[in-house]
């Protein structure tokens, strides 16, 4: 009979044509609607035999709980906002992958918000997330000032910053030690025999660019005979790395690019000029992005645990949401590491 929902104790005779409702599950299992709700949301309140009967009915009816109804009961939905400045950049895509994996593991969905690093657009997304009762947001700012971050926090939902360190008394954040990363990169160039080193950087108002350059300076100070110079790209892209390589008058013997896109463009531009990497100029990138393995001369680069940033940010956010009384804000910092490839020599003077 069409639409029949009667069931035996172990199963259902027929699945209704329309999507199953919680009332159908209750009827099929021979329990109340509140018991079904408890099995789905608070299973510890239901004895094992009854819970098994309910789960059998859920499976047989292919019942999917309605997330909106759960949000009305709990005061929030099961979604987390992820606000990224550039969804086309593989670095941010890897943060999103780690965040999505963590959200899925904990039973939450991820709402992707492309901010373009525009404060007004960020504010708009936060208004939407509040209206949709999202449990919180992970924000990846490119260039953020304290007043801007304060305004975001005032929107009324928990917030974790990713790829940016901040004092733990102000909230949770996850980041990479970029000072150490810059130091590792330039120290490797020095160890490989480079003495005249150029840093190809982005705008130093971007915290990560400033930190990587600071680390580079620290490495050079340990080698009195070494010299460090810097050129700033308008954008940290392959095109600007290529342009910089074409414009260099005096070639250094080592170059540290503060991201892999700049390094890939620089290597291409050097090749156009007949300059060999690493025989004439050694190059180190930053990020260990996919492009580092696909350029003509594969890039020695500084690896960041990018997926770990996304995963840790979501887990810290959920800890704040689910254990507010016991939650303590944390500024978690991950260590970078060097990945050796063909754009540098392995031994000094080699």
Q: Which pair of structure tokens corresponds to residue 61?
A: 């009816």
Please tell me the distance from the alpha carbon of residue 5 to that of residue 2, in angstroms, as a whole number. 9
What single-letter DSSP state applies at residue 210? H
pLDDT of residue 12: 46
pLDDT of residue 14: 46
Report the share of the chain in percent with pLDDT over 90: 57
Among residues 331, 338, 264, 233, which one has the least CA distance to residue 90? 264
Please tell me the distance from the alpha carbon of residue 136 to that of residue 262, in angstroms, as a whole number. 34
Q: Are 178 and 212 in contact (CB under 8 A)?
A: yes
Q: Are 316 and 166 in contact (CB under 8 A)?
A: no
What single-letter DSSP state applies at residue 189? H
Give pLDDT tens digits for 278-308: 999 999 999 999 899 888 899 999 999 999 9
Q: Are 137 and 318 in contact (CB under 8 A)?
A: no
Please tell me the distance from the alpha carbon of residue 82 to that of residue 96, in angstroms, as a whole number. 7
Q: Residue 169 half-sphere exposure, CB side, CA atoms within 13 Å?
A: 0
Give pLDDT tens digits for 56-77: 998 898 887 655 445 444 445 6
Report the share of the chain in percent with pLDDT over 70: 86
- 341 has a pLDDT exceeding 60: yes
C-alpha distances in Å from residue 62, one per residue of 10, 56, 59, 242: 15, 10, 5, 55
C-alpha distances in Å from residue 270, one per residue of 207, 242, 306: 28, 8, 29
Q: What is the DSSP string of 2-51?
A: TT---EETTEES---SSPP-HHHHHHHHTS-HHHHHHHHH-GGGS-HHHH
pLDDT of residue 142: 72
pTM: 0.73
pLDDT of residue 234: 94
Q: Are 257 and 286 in contact (CB under 8 A)?
A: yes
Q: Residue 171 half-sphere exposure, CB side, CA atoms within 13 Å?
A: 22
What single-letter DSSP state applies at residue 164? S
Q: Which pair of structure tokens corresponds to residue 171?
A: 């909230």
**Residue-range domains of the chain with CATH:** 7-65 (1.10.260), 77-177+306-335 (3.40.50.2300), 178-304 (3.40.50.2300)
Please tell me the distance from the alpha carbon of residue 265 to that of residue 144, in angstroms, as a whole number. 27
pLDDT of residue 156: 65
Q: How many residues does the chain have?
A: 350
Mean pLDDT of 154-166: 83
Q: Which residues contact 157 (CB under 8 A, 6 or more apart)?
A: 126, 129, 130, 134, 135, 136, 137
More confident residue, 144 or 204: 204
pLDDT of residue 275: 97
More confident residue, 30 or 62: 30
Mean pLDDT of 327-349: 88
């Amino acid at each position: 009979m069409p639409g029949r929902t009667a069931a035996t104790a172990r199963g259902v005779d027929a699945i209704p044509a329309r999507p199953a409702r919680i009332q159908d599950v209750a009827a099929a299992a021979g329990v109340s609607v509140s018991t079904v709700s408890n099995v789905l949301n608070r299973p510890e309140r239901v004895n094992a035999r009854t819970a098994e009967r309910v789960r059998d009915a859920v499976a047989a009816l292919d019942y999917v709980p309605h997330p909106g109804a759960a949000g009305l009961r709990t005061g929030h939905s099961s979604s987390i906002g992820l606000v990224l400045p550039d969804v086309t950049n593989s670095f941010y895509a890897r943060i999103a992958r780690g965040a999505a994996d963590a959200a899925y593991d904990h039973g939450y969905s991820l709402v992707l918000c492309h901010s373009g690093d525009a404060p007004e657009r960020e504010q708009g997304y936060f208004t939407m997330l509040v209206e949709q009762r999202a449990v919180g947001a992970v924000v990846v700012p490119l260039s953020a000032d304290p007043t801007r971050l304060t305004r975001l926090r005032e929107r009324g939902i928990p917030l974790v910053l990713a790829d940016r360190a901040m004092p733990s008394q102000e909230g949770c954040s996850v980041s990479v030690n970029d000072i150490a990363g810059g130091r590792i990169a330039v120290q490797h160039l020095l160890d490989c025999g480079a003495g005249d080193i150029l840093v190809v950087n982005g705008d130093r108002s971007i915290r990560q660019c400033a930190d990587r350059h600071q680390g580079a300076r620290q490495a050079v100070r340990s080698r009195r005979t070494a010299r460090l110079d810097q050129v700033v790209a308008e954008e940290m892209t392959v095109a600007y790395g290529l342009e910089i390589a074409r414009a260099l008058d005096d070639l250094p013997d080592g170059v540290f690019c503060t991201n892999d896109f700049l390094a890939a463009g620089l290597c291409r531009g050097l090749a156009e000029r007949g300059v060999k990497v690493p025989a004439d100029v050694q190059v180190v990138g930053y990020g260990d992005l996919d492009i580092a393995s696909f350029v003509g001369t594969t890039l020695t680069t500084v690896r960041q645990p990018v997926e770990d940033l996304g995963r840790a940010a979501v887990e810290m956010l959920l800890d704040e949401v689910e254990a507010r009384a016991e939650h303590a804000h944390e500024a978690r910092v991950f260590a970078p590491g060097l990945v050796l490839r063909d754009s540098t020599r392995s031994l000094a003077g080699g």
